[in-house]
Amino acid sequence: MARARSSSGDRPMAQRIDGRAMARAMLDETAQAVEQLKTQGVTPALAVVLVGSDPASEVYVGRKVAQCARAGIRSLEHRLPAETGQDELLALIDRLNADPAVHGVLIQLPLPRGIDASLVLDRVAPGKDVDGFHPVNVGRLSSGTGGLVPCTPLGIMKLLDSLIDDYRGLDVVVIGKSNIVGKPVAMLLLEREATVTVTHIETRNLPDVARKADVIVAAAGAPHLVRGYWVKEGAVVIDVGITRVTDHDGQTRIVGDCATHELEHARAVTPVPGGVGPMTIACLLANTVKAARDSLHG
């Protein structure tokens, strides 16, 4: 594939992977699938539960609800005060699980202190677990036997699939071992027969490990952790970081885990914002449609 070149000379420039455009295309496909399901008498519905008023969570929930509307998915918002007791939250999840008109249940994280997140996530019916966080879905992913897959890793794979046909034998380094991104994306890449190294805060010589990678997935939540000298010429770099920082002049902006301005020798990089983030929401809606479709078949 031809590489872009800088205007100042012959130095190749890394391609920016346009997550917004890819997410738009996915949303259009999802909207068509929703129309199709409606002809079969099913309107896909997503229940979004937000406990407390974490500002970032408010923004994410607002975006999810807005995109549902665009795709024709019914969304049901359940906004509960921060003081909500765990039992009350579990009772709401039980009601949503039992409601045949609800196909997806999403509990926005983080939950307030005092609520046991793992108990709450385990309560969501696996077939409605559009986040893919329930142990049944985690187990299915690690055994490669279907189920609902977490949205950010799914979005990362779609971005990578736009560049890579065959993962067999590729060296992939995942930075970060979270349950939401690092571990599940490693599972998806293993299924495609990549050689996957999962690294974390205790990994020794991380720059040296990263430099061997054909693909880097940076999901450490550490702004500009991945520097130019960590990245091999021609590597593909997926930046999952979204950290809000305040500049000297008091302006806030979102920065990723990669020093993108140092990565022009890479083959392709995802921008922040506009890379992985939009794909996560697009995959959430696709998971909701999958859950609705699966409910038709019992």
Catalytic residues: 64, 108, 131
Instruction: Quote the least distance from Cβ 171 to ligand GUN, whole Å.
Output: 27
Rounded to an integer, what distance in angstroms lies between the CA atom of residue 96 and that of residue 129? 11
Decide: 239 and 257 in contact? Cβ < 8 Å: yes
61 part of the interface to ligand GUN, by CB under 6 A: no
Q: Which is nearer to ligand GUN, 167 or 182 (CB)?
A: 182
Rounded to an integer, what distance in angstroms lies between the CA atom of residue 195 and that of residue 170? 6
Q: Which is nearer to ligand GUN, 151 or 187 (CB)?
A: 151
151 part of the interface to ligand GUN, by CB under 6 A: yes
Name residue, tokens 């979270």. 178
Identified binder of ligand GUN from the candidate list 23, 73, 92, 106, rule CB under 6 A:
106
Instruction: Quote the least distance from Cβ 197 to ligand GUN, whole Å.
Output: 23
Phi first, then psi: give them for residue 122, nearest 5 degrees: -70, -15
Is the preceding peptide bond at 112 cis, omega within 30 degrees of 0?
A: no
Residues 107-146 that bind ligand GUN (CB under 6 A): 107-109, 131
Q: Which is nearer to ligand GUN, 151 or 164 (CB)?
A: 151
Identified binder of ligand GUN from the candidate list 180, 189, 206, 263, rule CB under 6 A:
180
The widest CA-to-CA distance across the chain, in whole angstroms, is 63
65 part of the interface to ligand GUN, by CB under 6 A: no
Q: Which stretch binds ligand GUN (CB under 6 A): 4-12, 68-76, 103-111, 187-195?
A: 103-111
Structure tokens at 218: 């940076």
Closest chain position to ligand GUN (CB):
109
Instruction: Quote the least distance from Cβ 263 to ligand GUN, whole Å.
Output: 25
Q: Which is nearer to ligand GUN, 172 or 240 (CB)?
A: 240
Q: Which stretch binds ligand GUN (CB under 6 A): 29-37, 101-109, 140-148, 226-234?
A: 101-109
Rounded to an integer, what distance in angstroms lies between the CA atom of residue 159 and that of residue 270? 9
Structure tokens at 40: 């079969």
Q: Which is nearer to ligand GUN, 42 or 187 (CB)?
A: 187
Residue among 289, 191, 175, 163 nearest 231 (CA): 175
- CA separation (Å) from 233 to 113, 210, 259? 44, 12, 15
Instruction: Quote the least distance from Cβ 230 to ligand GUN, whole Å.
Output: 25
Decide: 268 and 237 in contact? Cβ < 8 Å: yes
Q: Would you tell me the crossing angle of helices 276-296 and 55-71 to the nearest 10 degrees?
A: 60
Residue among 122, 162, 209 nearest 18 (CA): 162
Which residues of the shown chain bind ligand GUN in the complex (CB under 6 A)? 106-109, 131, 151-152, 180
